[in-house]
Amino acid sequence: MDFLYPFAFNIRDFEPITGRIHQPPPVHQTFEAHNFVVCSFVPRLYDYHPDSIPAPYYHSNVNSDEVLFYVEGNFMSRKGVKEESITLHPLGIPHGPHPGKTEGSIGKRETHELAVMVDTFKPLKVVKRTGCLEDEHYMYSWS
């Protein structure tokens, strides 16, 4: 028998795990459901090893589609996203910091970003009605 409980959680109450070196994405995980997880990217200290590189590494999510909603702050690893942007990186698409952002992150102490990510374990389908909202230049932001 399954039970459903309404649950509210203010993202500002999320306490992120930080470390000397770059922490893996699960440290941001806030909720886990059968076919998706919700991660919270909140203001936090960056990696504090003297030789650390705070920018995230390039990756391709081979098991999930990744949707990110940028709520507020300065999004260190990305160009071309701003508050209220939503990005979708389908599974297997390599992505990471935009050119110059890895080098630019060195020596940075903290972030004030606030963003929510949903990783789904089944492919998402994009409805046609979102076509008018798509930034057709986003894919070129890595070049």
| Contact residues: Fe ion, CB under 5 A | 66
Residue recorded with tokens 């929510």: 116
For residue 120, the minimal CB distance to Fe ion (Å) is 13
Nearest to Fe ion of 46, 118 (CB atom): 118
For residue 82, the minimal CB distance to Fe ion (Å) is 18
Nearest to Fe ion of 46, 77 (CB atom): 77
Query: What is the rounded distance in angstroms from the CA atom of residue 108 to the CA atom of residue 33?
Result: 34
Q: Supply 84's token pair.
A: 């209220």
Nearest to Fe ion of 46, 65 (CB atom): 65
For residue 44, the minimal CB distance to Fe ion (Å) is 17
Nearest to Fe ion of 11, 88 (CB atom): 88
Is 14 strand, coil or helix?
coil
For residue 57, the minimal CB distance to Fe ion (Å) is 10
> Considering only CA atoms, which of 106, 100, 111, 93 is closest in space to residue 40?
111
Ranked by CB distance to Fe ion, the top (closest) residue is: 66
The residues near 113 (Cβ < 8 Å, ≥ 6 apart) are 41, 42, 43, 70, 72, 73, 74, 75, 76
Q: Which amino acid is at 142?
A: W
